[in-house]
Chains A and B, each alone.
Chain A
Amino acid sequence: MVMCCPAGTRLAEVNALAGEQQLRFPLVVDPAATLAEHLAAVEYASASARFGPFVDNVLGMNWRVPCGRLVRIGERVIKSATGYDLNKFLLHSDGRYGNAVDLVLRLRRRGGEAVRCILRGAHPAIERARISLLRSPWIHWIDVVDLVVTAGEPAFLYLAADCGRGDVAAFDDYFRQLSAASGTQLEATEALDYSLPKLSLKTVITAAPPLAGELVREHGGQARVLCASGVVHYLPPRNLPLLPEPTLRRLELQCLEQGGHSYGPWSPRRDAVAQESAWATTLESAWNHL
């Protein structure tokens, strides 16, 4: 259940190919974007709720170091404790140590059916639904638990599960029960469109929804909270070319305090702290002279 493909492959192509074997690569933000574009913009996707971040789903790669040499990193099997985990370290290193040329993806079974719904309601009701779901064993089976916060609109919870035909009724029942118990209104929905965010914030799971609310209240646009991962994906309004640097720094600081960080095209440039710069220089000089 693995697939090797060039980093320039679009996610739609990956899934068309995988689909021929009843398989899928679930971490998709924008099907029209390539793997390389995803890795540069995000570390998590909605389906990280069930399958973890990209680093847990990319098993190996052919990596081009800055001197031009191609090196095989990681594995073609799904489990490894062989040597230092360069694969996870390099994957989102933003071109500093080179670039992935090909990737070995871990594929998952395609259930064949999709159950999707939206839960709407007042803030406390949405919070009840979100918290209840995160603490429920159903969370291991649900691909998407996204809180969608859009300027000028009430926030809602978007849930989706990929499952077998025999499971559809069980998911439908569970979503209905969750809606009734939380006091939210349930609506069936198609898959929601999504594009790669300009900014990703990684924090603890309780801090992500308020961070998303603050971003959208102050700057407009849309934020999606990947609730199980503690991640906020921010999609700014069309007329916003960039958030002010002090805002970006402040948001980042809020994440850093919890051991998180910001990521993606708008993430403020961060220089290596003194100690880190010594480690990075050691790696760079070794890897530039392979």
Chain B
Amino acid sequence: MPPAERLREVMPTGMILTSPAQLASYESDALGFKRFRPDAVVIPGCAAELIGVVRLLKDQAVPFTLRGAGTSLSGGPVAAQGGVVVHTSRLRRIEKISPTEMYALVECGVVLQQLDQALQPHGLYYPPDPSSAPSATLGGNVATNAGGAHCLRYGVTSNYVLGVEAVLLDGSVVTFGGPAGGRGPYRDDWKRLMVGSEGTLAAFTRLWLRLIPQPAKVWTFRATFLGIEAVSAAITHLATHVSCPAAIELMDPRSVAMVENSPMAVGLPAERFMLLAEIDGPAPLVDHRVDAVAAILRECGSDDVAFSDEPDIRAALWKARKAQGGLLGQISPDFLVQDAVIPKSQLAEILQFIYDEADRSGIPVATVIHAGDGNLHPNFLFDSRRPADVAAVEGLSKRLMRRVMEVGGTLSGEHGIGNDKAMYMEEFVGPAGVAMQMAIPRAFNPRHQLNPEKIFPERHFASP
């Protein structure tokens, strides 16, 4: 019996999608141009249904893939080998917010912004802030170890995961950690392997997330710079300043020009780097640091430093940075975002490398950078209908990844490997590293039935 038929035994009507029109929207994630049509999509409405679905699919011996909001930029939640996509969007209950224990217990399909809004009245804060917060799910965030602009000071998702409840491929439901954020009944800290596992080890059902008090006061600074040396000096000074900025974000001149040539223009000077920095803290601490931060920006060469603690003005200072992502989709049929992290000292060299290589390949590129932690996002713009473009972008990405490895960087800072960067993993971790890493799916998902062909290309599912 086809899997979709068997799924009807555990799922209510309407929650199994099989028509081509319905499946079309599950063919890709936000990477867009790499498409894999699933055979069916199933949308469980509660943890018990999700557990039933996992058990049934396991017995049916079909590959299957968990999907939150599908905003992954690395080809993660796609049916690379066909099979079933399990969409978690209906598991969106915030089960508990504990202001005394400072944690939240959520279902995996809760959207990040939904949690942020629920925490507001409690004065609590969950810091990981991917720009996709209005749609990305916490299950997806945990599975990719998502980051964001403010992770520089506050840390990434893995720093906030106290516990993970998951369904394993043997059908068991396990809890790694819990409100205390330790190991629970286990000897080893398996939760650490679950975070960032990109849906290849288990299906997460519920998550315990650590909360902290909301920062009291925030100042946002925006400054433009003519050259990379000047802006690099500003980044280095800020990153080591006593104010410990929560965020240091950089847009390169090509990104600035893209915004300024659009209806979202904010009046930034063309051909300049735009730096955004944010400091926060209790007013008596943060207010008296404002002049020092502005002085760093000026001394490093900016002549247009703007800053404010007013929410409306701060939003205006952020506007160009926030608009950039949306514009990419408007001006180019396709784009590919890389996500490498490099030592900050290499920023100027790697940026020049990106420009030289992209220009030589005839591929436009606009780069934004989580500059405080050296996390680069060059966006390569192309048309996937033209095979030459696809080949050029793939060649470019490969050369960039090799250079990143040479300077001691890493392949991904926050988007994960998915199937987009899987081909670089062996070169990055080496043969012994592959053997170490591949032992992990062997323990939890030995036949790679769960999300095959992700992280390592050799993770291929072969039915028995």
Contacts A69-B432, A93-B188: A109 and B410 contacting too (C-beta < 8 A)?
no
A65–B143 CA distance with the chains assembled, in angstroms: 27
Residue of A nearest to B170 (CB): A275
Q: Is B101 an interface residue (CB 8 A)?
A: yes
Complex contact A170–B288 (CB within 8 A): yes
Query: Among the listed B100, B188, B281, B374, which residue makes an inter-chain contact with A89, where contact means beta carbons less than 8 Å apart?
Result: B188
Query: Among the listed A75, A85, A136, A273, which residue makes an inter-chain contact with B185, where contact means beta carbons less than 8 Å apart?
Result: A273
Complex contact B442–A282 (CB within 8 A): yes
Residue among A167, A204, A259, A282 with the most chain B CB within 10 A? A259
Closest Cβ–Cβ distance, residue B219 to chain A (whole Å):
14
Q: In B145-195, which residues have CB < 8 Å from any A CB?
A: 145-147, 151, 155-156, 158-159, 162-163, 170, 172, 174-175, 177-190, 192-193, 195
Complex contact B190–A71 (CB within 8 A): no
A residues near B455, Cβ cutoff 8 Å: 83-84
B residues near A276, Cβ cutoff 8 Å: 186-188, 190
Complex contact A84–B196 (CB within 8 A): yes
A260–B179 CA distance with the chains assembled, in angstroms: 8
Q: Is B413 an interface residue (CB 8 A)?
A: yes
A52–B155 CA distance with the chains assembled, in angstroms: 9
Complex contact B147–A275 (CB within 8 A): no
A272–B189 CA distance with the chains assembled, in angstroms: 11
Complex contact B413–A80 (CB within 8 A): yes
A78–B411 CA distance with the chains assembled, in angstroms: 13
The segment out of B29-37, B210-218, B327-335 that lies at the interface is B210-218
Q: How large is the interface on A (under 10, 10 to 19, 20 to 34, 35 or more residues)?
A: 35 or more
Complex contact A279–B192 (CB within 8 A): no
Complex contact B123–A135 (CB within 8 A): yes
Complex contact A79–B413 (CB within 8 A): yes
Q: Is A188 an interface residue (CB 8 A)?
A: no
A173–B99 CA distance with the chains assembled, in angstroms: 26
B residues near A279, Cβ cutoff 8 Å: 188, 190, 443-444
Query: Among the listed A52, A72, A96, A134, which residue makes an inter-chain contact with B102, where contact means beta carbons less than 8 Å apart?
Result: A134
Complex contact B145–A85 (CB within 8 A): yes
A56–B161 CA distance with the chains assembled, in angstroms: 12
Residue of B nearest to A92 (CB): B189
A272–B370 CA distance with the chains assembled, in angstroms: 41
Binary B-proximity of A17-41 (CB < 8 A = 1, otherwise 0): 0000011000000000000000000
Q: How large is the interface on B (under 10, 10 to 19, 20 to 34, 35 or more residues)?
A: 35 or more
B residues near A186, Cβ cutoff 8 Å: none
The segment out of B47-55, B254-262, B422-430 that lies at the interface is B422-430
Residue of A nearest to B456 (CB): A83
Q: Is A88 an interface residue (CB 8 A)?
A: yes
A23–B288 CA distance with the chains assembled, in angstroms: 22
Complex contact A202–B181 (CB within 8 A): yes
Complex contact B147–A135 (CB within 8 A): no
Closest Cβ–Cβ distance, residue B234 to chain A (whole Å):
16
B residues near A249, Cβ cutoff 8 Å: none
Query: Among the listed A55, A81, A164, A270, which residue makes an inter-chain contact with B187, where contact means beta carbons less than 8 Å apart?
Result: A270
A residues near B195, Cβ cutoff 8 Å: 85
Complex contact A141–B208 (CB within 8 A): no
Complex contact A256–B436 (CB within 8 A): no
Contacts A82-B428, A273-B185: A167 and B285 contacting too (C-beta < 8 A)?
yes
Q: In B203-247, which residues have CB < 8 Å from any A CB?
A: 208, 212-216, 239-242, 244
Closest Cβ–Cβ distance, residue B309 to chain A (whole Å):
14
A273–B170 CA distance with the chains assembled, in angstroms: 15
A258–B177 CA distance with the chains assembled, in angstroms: 8
B residues near A88, Cβ cutoff 8 Å: 158, 189, 192
Complex contact B432–A71 (CB within 8 A): yes
Contacts A163-B242, A259-B162: A85 and B193 contacting too (C-beta < 8 A)?
yes
A69–B433 CA distance with the chains assembled, in angstroms: 11
Residue among B99, B436, B440 with the most chain A CB within 10 A? B436
Q: Is B144 an interface residue (CB 8 A)?
A: yes
Closest Cβ–Cβ distance, residue A33 to chain B (whole Å):
22
Q: Is B343 an interface residue (CB 8 A)?
A: yes
Query: Among the listed A73, A84, A166, which residue makes an inter-chain contact with B197, where contact means beta carbons less than 8 Å apart?
Result: A84
A19–B374 CA distance with the chains assembled, in angstroms: 23
A residues near B174, Cβ cutoff 8 Å: 275
Complex contact B411–A206 (CB within 8 A): no
Residue among B280, B416, B437 with the most chain A CB within 10 A? B437
B residues near A109, Cβ cutoff 8 Å: 240-242, 244
Q: Is B275 an interface residue (CB 8 A)?
A: no
Complex contact A81–B284 (CB within 8 A): no
Residue of B nearest to A70 (CB): B432
Complex contact A258–B180 (CB within 8 A): yes
A22–B343 CA distance with the chains assembled, in angstroms: 19
Q: Is B118 an interface residue (CB 8 A)?
A: no
Closest Cβ–Cβ distance, residue B459 to chain A (whole Å):
12
Q: Is A138 an interface residue (CB 8 A)?
A: yes
Query: Among the listed A75, A173, A230, which residue makes an inter-chain contact with B181, where contact means beta carbons less than 8 Å apart?
Result: A230
Contacts A89-B193, A139-B212, A230-B181: A170 and B101 contacting too (C-beta < 8 A)?
no
Q: Is B412 an interface residue (CB 8 A)?
A: yes
Query: Among the listed B172, B430, B442, which residue makes an inter-chain contact with A275, where contact means beta carbons less than 8 Å apart?
Result: B172
A113–B201 CA distance with the chains assembled, in angstroms: 46
Q: Is B387 an interface residue (CB 8 A)?
A: no
Closest Cβ–Cβ distance, residue B113 to chain A (whole Å):
21
Complex contact B185–A256 (CB within 8 A): yes
Q: Is B439 an interface residue (CB 8 A)?
A: yes
A43–B187 CA distance with the chains assembled, in angstroms: 14
Contacts A259-B177, A259-B184: A290 and B145 contacting too (C-beta < 8 A)?
no
Q: Is B435 an interface residue (CB 8 A)?
A: yes
Complex contact B213–A89 (CB within 8 A): no
24 A-B contacts, Cβ less than 8 Å apart? A22-B240, A65-B436, A79-B151, A79-B410, A82-B411, A83-B196, A84-B196, A84-B197, A84-B437, A86-B436, A89-B192, A111-B242, A134-B102, A134-B213, A137-B213, A166-B289, A173-B284, A259-B175, A259-B183, A259-B184, A259-B208, A260-B178, A261-B182, A282-B446
Residues of A within 8 A of B (CB): 1, 22-23, 52, 55-56, 65, 69, 71-73, 75-86, 88-89, 92-93, 96, 109, 111, 134-141, 163-164, 166-167, 170-171, 173-174, 202-207, 230, 255-256, 258-261, 270-273, 275-276, 278-280, 282-283, 286-287, 290
Q: What 8 A-B pairs come out closest when comparing CB atoms?
A: A259-B178, A260-B180, A286-B439, A260-B182, A164-B242, A88-B192, A258-B180, A137-B216
